Amino acid sequence: MALHQTELRPLGKCVGRKEDPRFIRGKGRYVDDIMLPGMLYMYLVRSPYAHARIKSIDTSAALQAPGVKLVITGEDLEAMNLAWIPTMANDQQMVLATGKVLYQYQEVAAVIAETREQAVDAAQLIDIEYEPLPVVVDPFKALEPDAPILREDREKKSNHVFHWEAGDREATEELFRNAPVVVKKDVRFQRVHPAPLEPCGCIADYNPSTGKLTWYVTSQAPHAHRTVLAMVSGLPEHQIRVISPDVGGGFGNKVPIYPGYVAAVVASLKLGKPVKWIETRTENITSTGFARDYHMTCEIAAEEDGRVLALRVKTIADHGAFDAAADPSKFPAGLFSIVTGSYDFKEALVEVDGVYTNKAPGGVAYRCSFRVTEAAYLIERVMDVLARRVGVDPAELRKRNFIRKEQFPYKSPTGWTYDSGDYEKTLALALEKIGYEELRKEQAEKRARGEFMGIGISTFTEVVGAGPSHTFDIMGIKMFDSAQIRIHPTGKVIARLGVRHQGQGHETTFAQIIAEELGLSTDDVLIEEGDTDNAPYGLGTYASRSTPTAGGAAALCARRIRDKAKKIAAHLLEVGEEDVVWDGVSFSAKGLPGKSVTMKDVAFAAYTNLPEGMEPGLEATYYYDPPNLTFPHGAYIAVVDIDKGTGAVKVRRFLAVDDCGTVINPMIVDGQVHGGLTEGFAIAFMQDIPFDDEGNCLAPNWMDYLVPTALDTPHWETDRTVTPSPHHPIGAKGVGESPNVGSPAAFVNAVVDALAPLGVEHIDMPIFPWKVWQILREHGVTE
């Protein structure tokens, strides 16, 4: 049962979500719900070709069409110096194509009309002559010397974007040379897309009489978007107000600035009217930030008993036509070098090469914690390969290699300092709860009968909460975050934070943190996010950073208020400040039992009855720059049964034991875990965005790109261990992405474990039934 919102000391309790009444009644307010007087609609004309020169664009017929107010092409933007914009990864990307197109569905022209239908109809009248060019879809072919050069705008005449590495090359090579056991595996993390229920969209509303642009946009990072927009457009930043209303799912898809946003702003500036642009489902999947697309080769050097020595990883990263990955600027491959995971490798070398291809840009999205999904999947997958090679049970192999509790803070061979963890405890709980020994017995019996049952383990380590500003920035902006708390005379609180939730439950969890710190109930605290005119500056919600950063800011901001409140309490209690004691609910005076004041009493006094000389009011702002990242971890176990006739995999059980440090609201953590597991399940079994040789996207809709329904989704079991972060103000670590980071390896490990008697060591995701059926058929198991 959820705790009532009116109860005190809410931290760690299942408080009912404050935002749910509006969401579950369909009363959320999303960008497309906003209607402004005189609003116009924009539609984008997109390229059918993946690579083609634009010979001509004829917009004359479209301009004559009913209701059409404006048509914008790349040439028009060129005249405004807006044909290209910087990406978040030190690259640039086209807004509307000039010269040539580089991927299918690339934006070529924008039509603005009185209605959405008129804009769509007029777009069909734009006559564009293309000359198709050779298409490169395979990143390995893109690196061949005779490959066509895709990016003519770059000085470097090559499709190679960057090389990045971490770790000690020589020390790693040395360990590999002398290692008794070396396993090697090519592992692909396929291209997927977060496909949030609400696609991307905005309304640009420029008011010519005030010179102010109000930009309603479905954004995970409204403050950063305001700054980028100011820098790109030349509009003064204080004349831009970004409002991110309710966001219908983000998952990293709503971090970048998309061409449609810039085109809508240009249209509103030109026409002096509000312009709405909402993309379709196909536009969302085919042109906005995709996720993953890593081709990885992993080698582990180990002792005969399976104790690991060194790790070597080489990766080709397919970035598409522009490097628009939303990574911190010093990390072109995100936090991928966390790939040593939960294991005590002595040395490691991680290399990533980014490559351009004729595909849509992106790469960092879908609950990936900046590429930790790829890293965790790889190490957890290949640890199982090692277990098989050395003949050690995968659970036992993990135990032999875990970083021990007493090794924290642990310095990893690629340079991370893990804050805390207790991997053995988490795995022990998971093994006990799932009944591991019995399951292995059952599996042995089934194998003897020729049945295929598998158990898959993943004991991953996450790295979230970017970040300490000395290391982390996006386009130069340091990755701190902020909170501002105002207590009104009656003790009611409005708190605003620099992050922007998209379903994570901030309106409840942050209210719990603040209420806990101030001795109030969550009902007393209203959380507001997403309006840059009134919230303090912050970098936004992604990479599981809200609780580690803004959550820390909220706690410290409340403590700052409590310091002042203590002074007022001393005044009210008529004692010295040093004699005032805070017990979590009220201030009392030492040695004076029965005499106490609550935060509500203090709040009223802050406006009515202050000590002499004290500044009135009770509010504070706190910008929190965390000293380190946080390192949540977990032990996940999947149990699967395979249908011999069809190759269908049934996930019989799935247990997720997470350790995300201090838990603010167990119900919300469970909800986050359920959602992330469902996405991980989809990635493991259903999702892929393939292309044909001409660069046609073959999964541009929900008929070909699958999203699991309630019928597909297994039953999730969850549990937790709690190892608080030693540096976070309340010990919390973040959990939003752990289930997506940790679960794909558990699913794949389970399927491979089931097929191990056939000699199967690896299957690339997604594990469609036909892939399993082919393996069964090759081995004569089925006809």
Query: Helix/strand/coil (H, E, C) string of 352-403?
Result: EEEEECCCCCEECCCCCCCCHHHHHHHHHHHHHHHHHHHCCCHHHHHHHHEC
Site for another protein contains 132 (CB under 8 A)? yes
Three-state DSSP at 309 gives strand
**Complex with another protein: residue 34 or 133, whichever CB lies closer:** 133
Contact map string, positions 104 to 123, toward another protein, x by CB under 8 A: x-------------------
Stretch that binds another protein, among 210-218, 328-336, 366-374, 688-696 (CB under 8 A): 688-696
Taking the complex as a whole, the smallest distance from the CB of residue 689 to another protein amounts, in Å, to 11
Distance CA 684, CA 188 (A): 12
Distance CA 551, CA 734 (A): 9
**Complex with another protein: residue 286 or 672, whichever CB lies closer:** 286
In terms of DSSP bridges, do strands 160-167 and 347-356 run parallel, antiparallel, or are they unpaired?
antiparallel
What is the distance, to the nearest Å, from the Cα of residue 194 to the centroid of all Cα atoms in its chain?
9
In terms of DSSP bridges, do strands 240-243 and 275-278 run parallel, antiparallel, or are they unpaired?
unpaired
Long-range contacts of 396-400 (CB under 8 A, 24+ apart): 396/306, 397/306, 398/342, 398/343, 398/423, 398/427, 398/457, 398/459, 399/424, 399/427, 400/305, 400/306, 400/307
Stretch that binds another protein, among 307-315, 389-397, 689-697, 741-749 (CB under 8 A): 689-697
**Complex with another protein: residue 280 or 782, whichever CB lies closer:** 280
Stretch that binds another protein, among 46-54, 56-64, 384-392, 534-542 (CB under 8 A): 46-54
Give the one residue of 46, 359, 571, 733 binding another protein; rule: CB under 8 A: 46
**Complex with another protein: residue 117 or 563, whichever CB lies closer:** 117
Is residue 367 part of the annotated active site? The answer reads: yes
Half-sphere exposure of 265 (CA within 13 A, CB side): 28
Q: CA angle at residue 77 from 71 to 78, to 5 degrees?
A: 135
In terms of DSSP bridges, do strands 240-243 and 160-167 run parallel, antiparallel, or are they unpaired?
unpaired
Residue tagged active-site, from 368, 557, 660, 697: 368
Token pair listed for 154: 């770059």
Site for another protein contains 435 (CB under 8 A)? no
Is residue 75 part of the annotated active site? The answer reads: no
Site for another protein contains 49 (CB under 8 A)? yes
Site for another protein contains 45 (CB under 8 A)? yes
Give the one residue of 445, 698, 778, 779 binding another protein; rule: CB under 8 A: 698
Taking the complex as a whole, the smallest distance from the CB of residue 750 to another protein amounts, in Å, to 30
Residue tagged active-site, from 151, 367, 381, 496: 367
Taking the complex as a whole, the smallest distance from the CB of residue 719 to another protein amounts, in Å, to 42
Taking the complex as a whole, the smallest distance from the CB of residue 362 to another protein amounts, in Å, to 18
Taking the complex as a whole, the smallest distance from the CB of residue 777 to another protein amounts, in Å, to 21
Token pair listed for 118: 């008129």
Stretch that binds another protein, among 58-66, 228-236, 348-356, 698-706 (CB under 8 A): 698-706
**Complex with another protein: residue 31 or 697, whichever CB lies closer:** 697
Contact 261, 222 (CB under 8 A): no
Give the one residue of 92, 239, 701, 782 binding another protein; rule: CB under 8 A: 701
| Residue 765 CB contacts under 8 Å (≥ 6 apart), including other chains | 188, 189, 190, 683, 684, 685, 688, 744, 748
Give the one residue of 48, 99, 708, 726 binding another protein; rule: CB under 8 A: 48
Distance CA 481, CA 485 (A): 14
Q: Which of 266, 223, 213, 335 is nearest to 83 (CA)?
A: 266
Burial profile 185-207: b = 16 or more Cβ within 10 angstroms, e = fewer: bebebbbbbbbbebbbbbbbbbe
Helix 738-755 vs helix 372-390: angle between axes, to the nearest 10 degrees?
Answer: 30
**Complex with another protein: residue 107 or 719, whichever CB lies closer:** 107
In terms of DSSP bridges, do strands 52-58 and 100-101 run parallel, antiparallel, or are they unpaired?
antiparallel
**Complex with another protein: residue 50 or 553, whichever CB lies closer:** 50
Check residue 551 and report its DSSP letter: I
**Complex with another protein: residue 49 or 472, whichever CB lies closer:** 49
Site for another protein contains 704 (CB under 8 A)? yes
Check residue 729 and report its DSSP letter: T
Taking the complex as a whole, the smallest distance from the CB of residue 78 to another protein amounts, in Å, to 23
Residues 282-321 touching another protein, rule: CB under 8 A, are: 282, 286
Stretch that binds another protein, among 322-330, 415-423, 479-487, 694-702 (CB under 8 A): 694-702
Taking the complex as a whole, the smallest distance from the CB of residue 701 to another protein amounts, in Å, to 8
**Complex with another protein: residue 290 or 604, whichever CB lies closer:** 290
Q: Assess whether the previous peptide bond of 680 is cis (omega < 30° from 0).
A: no
Is residue 443 part of the annotated active site? The answer reads: no
97 — phi, psi (to 5°)? -60, 135
Burial profile 252-271: b = 16 or more Cβ within 10 angstroms, e = fewer: bbbbbbbbbbbbbbbbbbbb
Q: Which residues pair with 643 in a beta bridge?
A: none
Taking the complex as a whole, the smallest distance from the CB of residue 68 to another protein amounts, in Å, to 18
Beta-sheet strand order (sheet of 596-598): 580-582, 586-589, 596-598
Residues 531-570 touching another protein, rule: CB under 8 A, are: none
**Complex with another protein: residue 50 or 602, whichever CB lies closer:** 50
How many binding residues for another protein (CB under 8 A)? 22
Taking the complex as a whole, the smallest distance from the CB of residue 129 to another protein amounts, in Å, to 10
Give the one residue of 362, 626, 632, 700 binding another protein; rule: CB under 8 A: 700
Is residue 129 part of the annotated active site? The answer reads: no
Stretch that binds another protein, among 47-55, 314-322, 480-488, 674-682 (CB under 8 A): 47-55
Taking the complex as a whole, the smallest distance from the CB of residue 694 to another protein amounts, in Å, to 5
Taking the complex as a whole, the smallest distance from the CB of residue 700 to another protein amounts, in Å, to 4
Stretch that binds another protein, among 40-48, 84-92, 193-201, 660-668 (CB under 8 A): 40-48
Burial profile 122-137: b = 16 or more Cβ within 10 angstroms, e = fewer: bbebbebebeebebbb
**Complex with another protein: residue 2 or 698, whichever CB lies closer:** 698
Token pair listed for 578: 């040093």
**Complex with another protein: residue 130 or 510, whichever CB lies closer:** 130
Q: Which of 195, 369, 201 is nearest to 289 (CA)?
A: 195
Report the greatest alpha carbon distance in the chain.
90
Residue tagged active-site, from 93, 106, 220, 484: 220
Q: Which of 666, 709, 684, 764 is nearest to 13 (CA)?
A: 666
**Complex with another protein: residue 45 or 580, whichever CB lies closer:** 45
Stretch that binds another protein, among 45-53, 168-176, 395-403, 672-680 (CB under 8 A): 45-53
Distance CA 678, CA 675 (A): 5
Stretch that binds another protein, among 43-51, 182-190, 203-211, 624-632 (CB under 8 A): 43-51
- Amino acid identity for residue 542 in this structure: Y
Three-state DSSP at 487 gives strand
Give the one residue of 11, 50, 518, 669 binding another protein; rule: CB under 8 A: 50
Contact 14, 61 (CB under 8 A): no
- The H-or-E segment that residue 293 falls in is strand 290-302
Taking the complex as a whole, the smallest distance from the CB of residue 48 to another protein amounts, in Å, to 3
> In residues, how long is the chain?
783
Give the one residue of 693, 758, 774, 778 binding another protein; rule: CB under 8 A: 693
Taking the complex as a whole, the smallest distance from the CB of residue 697 to another protein amounts, in Å, to 6
Give the one residue of 68, 317, 697, 746 binding another protein; rule: CB under 8 A: 697
Binding site for another protein (CB under 8 A): 45-46, 48-50, 104, 124, 130, 132, 282, 286, 692-701, 704
Query: Active-site residue numbers?
Result: 220, 367-368, 737
